[in-house]
Every structure is written in structure tokens, then in C-alpha cells.
Structure 1
Amino acid sequence: MSSVDIQYDKVYGAWLGRSAGCLLGQPVEGWYQDRLLGFLKESGNLPVNGYMSSDVSGEIRKKYDIVDEKEVYGGCMVNWVNNIECMPEDDDTNYTILALKLMEQKGYNFTPDDVGECWLNCLPVLHVCTAERVAYINMVNNLSPPASAGYRNAYREYIGAQIRGDFYGYVCPGDAAKAARLAWKDACISHTKNGIYGEMFAAAMLAEAAKETDMRKIIRTALLQIPPKSRLAEAIEEILSWNMQSVDAEEAARRIRQRFDERLGYDWCHVIPNAMIVCTGLLYGDLDFSRTMHICLTAAFDTDCNCATAGSVLGMILGADNIPAEWTAPLRDQIRSGVDGMGLVSLSSLASRTIKVYRKHQKK
């Protein structure tokens, strides 16, 4: 049993922060850094102080190939802030909602098979990507977890599992080890090794953020939940070391980019460079939501994933009331998902349901 009680404002803040970060990065996911920085600068949003809009001059639209109409998760519009009425669907938030649904049904003792069954029952295959889609197809072909993760799966150390870990931290406040165990059961159906460790690390950070405000302590505690000799742990240790050496955020991001190439699909979506970017944003963001988003976004790579994870951690620390309104107001407390039965729901209701999952367990 956790020694830290769950707090609605923190959980709601985490849901809001995850959604806000995802929305920020979604329209420019896949952009290379030079294009991204050019657009931010010429549209007056550098340093980043809010969402990006397509309501810019024709010259800027042409120069940066800005479009409004494009199919995204079944929608027909690119999710610039001027095109939305709520938080639109994204895989980064689908999985958080799916984890809620799983734990409402199965509780803390769910198995990897339960995770796979929940996916097949509640989420269409074209709403999942890379490692998840391979695992989904493997499970359809009767290959059960954890075998479903490795068979013909070139994406098994991609970022996909890391973006699925947040909810397990939400329901384990102050218990990073327990959050990591839940995350392992989720991750092993589609990922191996560092792919799994990424989800365990993210879940553990969220659990620790429920009681701690010191970002170094949060990251250190999360690191204790993954193998210390793993490539992921060694990479995060390097970020912590740079921070202690007073290397600034811009230089830290430059070093990450020097080692990994965003123009290579493998590097762009691999868990290690993206986890390094998340930790850079959290360490150098000084608990400032806009600054943290700026660091995570401008490093490029997987922009919506990284801003979502960092936003979730920071939202848990700050609580909903302390996230600036420019980030929360455009969401209108509503989120769309591709999860069966949860097409359009309020973020506040998701926070309340998260509390109920935790309370139900505490009574046993």
C-alpha cells in the first residue's frame, strides 16, 4: 500500500499536462529541427509560449508547407490550435485511456494477456503504430504475450511502450516500484529490453512525481526501477551528469542530436534519444510548464510523445490549478479517443475514474 494518498488536482493535472504536451507536438510530428525552428521563429512562437497555429501569412504557409486538411486518426484536419474544439485523438492519449479501461475491469492484478485482450476488444488496429501494430497482428494470429513482442518486430525498442506508462504511475502514487511492475506487464506484449524499460521508467517517474518536486530525485528514483547497465539507464545517467556539470539545455539537446540522427527512422522513434529529450526538458525546465515544453519540442525527434510525457510528469507535480491557462483552456476539458465506448469524454471525468481505480484497490 502506498504511503502517499492520491490527490485529484495532481491526477487531473497529469491528464491535462499529457494532453497539452501531445497537442503541442502533434501537428509537427515528423518535422526535422530546421523546419520546426524556422516555423516557430517566423510565427512568433520562439521561445515556445503556447500552441502553434496555422493562421499565419501565406508566405510562411508556403515556405513551411503548412496545411490544414489532412487525415489524422480518422479526422480530416491537422490539429493546429485554431482547428480544434477539444483534445483530438492521438495514440499517446489512446493508450492512457485504454489503461484506465483495463484497470477498471481487471484491477492491479491484470496480466499481459489481459492487456492484449483489451487492445483487441477496444482499439482498432489502424489506431496503433509500429511495435504495437506488429504485436496486435501477432496476437490476432494467436501468438500470445510475450512472444507477440518479438516476432518479426523491428520496432521492439521504439518509444511506443514509453508513451503507455503514465496511467500506471497515476494509480501508484509514491510507489515507483509498483508502477514499474504494472508497466512491465503492459510493455512486454509489444516490446523487449529497452523498449520495456522506457515504459517502466515513465510510470515510475509519474508515481514519484505524486510526492516529490525535486526533478533529479524523481528521475533517480525511476532509474532504480530499470536495469542499471541497460543502454537506457546509461543514457539517462549521462543527462543527469551533464546537468550537474552545468551544461545548459541547448547544449544537452545538441549532444543528443549529435549522437542520434532524426533523419534516420530508427533513431527518430527509438526510446533512448526520446527519453533523453524528456529528461532534458524536465531537468532544465525549472518546473515551468512553458519552458519544459519549449525544450522538449525544439529538440525535435518524436515531438508529441516527448512533450506529452514531460507534460504529464510536470502536471502531476504542479496540479491542474497551476498549469497556465494558455495550455489548458483550448482543451475545453474534453478529449476524443479511438477507445471503444470512450469516443468523447471529459478529462476531469477521467481523473475522477482514475481516483476510483485507486480507492477500490485501497479498500481491499
Structure 2
Amino acid sequence: MPSYETLRMLVREEITQRGEEGADITGFLERWEAATDSEALWRLYHELRALPLREDFPYHEPSDLPGIRQARDEGVRRFKMVICEEDLLDRLHGAWLGRVAGCMLGKPVEGWSRERVRQYLEGADAYPLTDYLPPETRTPPEGVPQPYTWCTKGHIRFGERDDDTDYTILGLYLFEKHGSAFSTRDVGDAWLHLLPAYQTYTAERQAYINLVNELPLEEVPLHLNPYREWIGARIRADFWGYVAPGCPERAGEFAYRDASLSHVKNGIYSEMFVAAMIAAAFATQDVVEIIRAGAAEIPARSREAEMIRDCLAWRRECASWEEAFERLTNRYYGKYHPVHTVNNDAIVLNALLWGWPDFEKVVTIAVMQGMDTDCNGATAGSIWGAAFGAKALPAKWVEPLHDTLHSAVFGFAVNRIGELARRSLTQAVKVLTGSG
């Protein structure tokens, strides 16, 4: 059972979440403020869980795979492509390297606003960003910690441990153990056996607790989990795209099995969208085609899909990524928590649409917009790497990593990135040939 303080925080977040999902939460905040004991908070929580959606809520957001597929638009489910294993390995290697480099770029300023990121960079004569973050600045923003020095320019020796890459490694483990038939239960078992509880956060932490307490699987993403549409599922998307090159529908299905352990609705769609984009990037270098292939795997009348349409429109209508970002912040999802998935996915799309096909521009625009910077840099870099490959990556982004990635996943403490790519190739070939 959570403490009174923890329960109070979770119920407060649940009020926000239910409102964003379309429930009428009138009066609940006042009742939360008046609650003085755990019993009152539990009553409030159960009432929140039981609230129906408003009749005027304009979105259709199922959380079951058949419902999701029925609600999506037409799209390319599998691209026609011919690629040799050598080229596929280079693309996989590029995706892994792009993910690690983008994560390291954003890690020092994780959670910062765009304004704070810019203030820091301008004080280091490094705005706009063209390299890893400088370790010092004349104008440090107030109220934020000094960036992790070991993740800044001149101090990087390898890819630091991060949850954004832990889950990519965990995907490899799941495929090597279970193949393409892995289940949501298998994902949960892998978490319990291989992930330290305190290296999980927000939705994953709450789902982990629910798994430990042996809740029914359908309750794991829901019970005391107000973070179920936050970014946690999206950071787990990449490996499902790696093993389904050219097959966005298959990648989306793998992502669904993973995401539904801890997320619902747009939390699930985000992981499916990104996995499908990565799968498409192995088949086309047209960034709009990549985005549309991803969007075709999620419900067309969801908030996530609406955001995607917005970003594509802003690329046509705006003069710069900065103007597009201002449009983002003025939309309802721009007011969501900085770790929500819809607003951060918009940041990634802005980076892709305004930076493509330049790797440096893609990952730096992803980070300069702020919010969940390590997640956004990692996702943007991974998509680019899948499209263009390791050989196309600029040396200044790759060499500091020394082909090494650290992880908190049990049995994967220190990894060669090239070896992770080779092992990913083995699994991708099995999927493509129907043998795994």
C-alpha cells in the first residue's frame, strides 16, 4: 500500500489524467484538496476510475489491438524492399548509434524548458547547437542542476546508462529468448528479473509495483498509474522497428504487446507510431512517407494522430522550427506535463521535419526544444540512423562513444554497440524469413 503522501500525489495526477482522457472532473480537485486521510483519497480514486467519458469528447481512443486496427487509416503495412544483410546491418548499426548519440546529447538537459536550454547554450557561445553540450556556461539557468559533466563535449567516454537505451537492450533480450511470439506477460517477467525497480520511472515504476503485487495483467497499466499516457512506452519502441525492417504493421504489433503492459490509449499509440516509423525508415528515406507510415498504425481520431497532422501542416505553414514549436505550445497538448507523450512526440516530428536529412540538425533541434530531451534526441537519432546507416553518421557524434554502451539491464552491464547491431540483425532476419 502506498503511503498517504504517495497516494495523495497519485490521486492528484489521476485527476489530471482523467480530464485529459475526456472525463468530466468538475469538483474533484476541490474534493482532493479537502481529503485529509487515505480512506477519503481511496474513495476519490475509485470514483475517478469509474467516470465515463464526456459525450462531447471528440476522440476515439481504444486500447485493444483489434480496436486500434479498426480505427486506423489506410496505409503501407509492408514496404516492397530488397536489402542485403550487409546493408541491413549498417542500417541497424546506424539506428543503435543514432539512438545512443541522441540520448547522450539530450541527457545533460533532461527536463529543461526550451528557454533554459537556449540560455545555457548562449552563455557557452553554442547556440544553435552543433555538437554535444558544452560542459560550462557563463549563464547557468536558475533552478536546474549543473549538467552531467560526463555527458558533455570532451568528457564522453561511452554511452552512459539510461532508461532510453535499457529498454532497447531489453527488447533484444526478449527476442533472443522468446522470438517474435513474445507476450506482454513475457515483457513483465523480463522487467522483474532484469530491471532494478529504481531504474524504472513514472508509468513503468507503477506497472512494476503492480506486477510485484501480482495484480491481474489487465490492471497492471491502470491501477494507481496516472502516467499511463506519458512517454515511458515510446522510449521502448525502437527495437520493435529494428526487427521488422520495412514492416510497419508488424513493428506496431510488437510495440503494442510491450506498451500495453504499462500504458493505454495515446501511451500505446506513441510506441506503435515510433516503432512503425523506424520500420518504414529501413525502406524509404522520404521523411513524410516515414511519418505517414507510422501514423497509419494508430487510430485516426486520437489525440496522437491529430498532433501528427498538426506537425505536418506546420511544416508547410511555418517559416522555422521555432515557429512550429510556438504553435505546439499553444495547442491543448502543448499544456500537458513535460513528460507526456503527445507533446514530446510533436517535438520529435518537428526535429525530423525541419532537420531532415541532416543528422546533426535532426538531433540538435530535438534537444533545443526542451522537455524530455534525452528521449527525444534518442528517438530522432534512431529514426535517422535506420534510414541512412552507420557509415553516413558524422564521426564527431560517433567516435566519443567508443562503440560502448552501459546498461542497468542484468547481464548487459557493458555492451559493444556494433555487437548489439549484429545480434539485432540475427533477429530481424528471422522475422523477415518467418523463422523466428
TM-score by length of 2: 0.77
Q: How far is 1:83 from its partner?
A: 3.4
Listed as ranges, the matches of 1:239-258 within 5 Å are: 239-258=311-330
- Paired with 2:428 and 2:315, the residues of 1 have a C-alpha distance of 35
Does the 8 Å contact 1:113/1:144 carry over to 2? no
| Residue of structure 2 equivalent to 1:67 | 146
Does the 8 Å contact 1:18/1:310 carry over to 2? yes
What whole-Å deviation, never above 9, does each CA across 1:55-77 have from its counterpart, x for those lacking one?
x36x44587866367xxxxxxx6
Q: Secondary structure at the match of 2:169?
A: helix
- Paired with 1:261 and 1:301, the residues of 2 have a C-alpha distance of 13
What whole-Å deviation, never above 9, does each CA across 1:264-284 have from its counterpart, x for those lacking one?
7x5201111001110111011
Residues 1:91 and 2:163 are matched in the alignment: yes
- Paired with 1:215 and 1:246, the residues of 2 have a C-alpha distance of 17
Does the 8 Å contact 1:48/1:293 carry over to 2? no
| Residue of structure 2 equivalent to 1:19 | 100
Q: Secondary structure at the match of 1:82?
A: coil
- Paired with 2:339 and 2:103, the residues of 1 have a C-alpha distance of 15
Give the 3 Å change call, closer, same or farther, for CA 64–130 of structure 1 in structure 2: closer
Q: Secondary structure at the match of 2:337?
A: helix
Residues 1:287 and 2:287 are matched in the alignment: no
Q: How far is 1:84 from its partner?
A: 3.0
Q: How far is 1:2 from its partner?
A: 7.4
Does the 8 Å contact 1:67/1:78 carry over to 2? no
- Paired with 1:241 and 1:177, the residues of 2 have a C-alpha distance of 24
Does the 8 Å contact 1:28/1:303 carry over to 2? yes
Q: One-letter code of the match for 1:67?
A: Q
TM-score by length of 1: 0.92
Does the 8 Å contact 2:255/2:275 carry over to 1? yes
| Residue of structure 1 equivalent to 2:215 | 143
Q: How far is 1:47 from its partner?
A: 1.5
Unmatched 5+ residue regions in structure 1? 70-76
- Paired with 1:88 and 1:131, the residues of 2 have a C-alpha distance of 22
Q: How far is 1:335 from its partner?
A: 0.2
Q: One-letter code of the match for 1:230?
A: S
Unmatched 5+ residue regions in structure 2? 1-77
Residues 1:347 and 2:414 are matched in the alignment: no
Moved more, 39-48 or 148-157: 39-48
Q: How far is 1:30 from its partner?
A: 1.5
- Paired with 1:274 and 1:68, the residues of 2 have a C-alpha distance of 21
Does the 8 Å contact 2:231/2:344 carry over to 1? yes
Larger relative contact order (C-alpha < 8 A, sep ≥ 6)? Answer: 1
Listed as ranges, the matches of 1:253-264 within 5 Å are: 253-259=325-331
Give the 3 Å change call, closer, same or farther, for CA 15–259 of structure 1 in structure 2: same
- Paired with 1:197 and 1:64, the residues of 2 have a C-alpha distance of 33
- Paired with 1:144 and 1:343, the residues of 2 have a C-alpha distance of 31
- Paired with 2:164 and 2:393, the residues of 1 have a C-alpha distance of 20
Point out the structure with max Rg over C-alpha.
Answer: 2
Does the 8 Å contact 2:333/2:343 carry over to 1? no
- Identity in percent: 41
Q: Secondary structure at the match of 2:367?
A: helix
- Paired with 1:157 and 1:184, the residues of 2 have a C-alpha distance of 13
Q: How far is 1:82 from its partner?
A: 3.5
Q: Secondary structure at the match of 2:338?
A: helix
Q: 2:346 aligns with which of 264, 272, 276?
A: 276
Does the 8 Å contact 1:173/1:207 carry over to 2? yes
- Paired with 1:68 and 1:307, the residues of 2 have a C-alpha distance of 16
- Paired with 1:246 and 1:231, the residues of 2 have a C-alpha distance of 21
Q: Secondary structure at the match of 1:345?
A: strand
RMSD: 2.0
Moved more, 275-284 or 245-254: 245-254
Give the 3 Å change call, closer, same or farther, for CA 62–269 of structure 1 in structure 2: closer
- Paired with 1:292 and 1:101, the residues of 2 have a C-alpha distance of 29
Moved more, 135-144 or 246-255: 246-255
- Paired with 1:181 and 1:132, the residues of 2 have a C-alpha distance of 20
Residues 1:214 and 2:286 are matched in the alignment: yes
Q: 1:152 aligns with which of 203, 224, 243?
A: 224
- Paired with 1:33 and 1:115, the residues of 2 have a C-alpha distance of 34
Q: Secondary structure at the match of 1:81?
A: coil
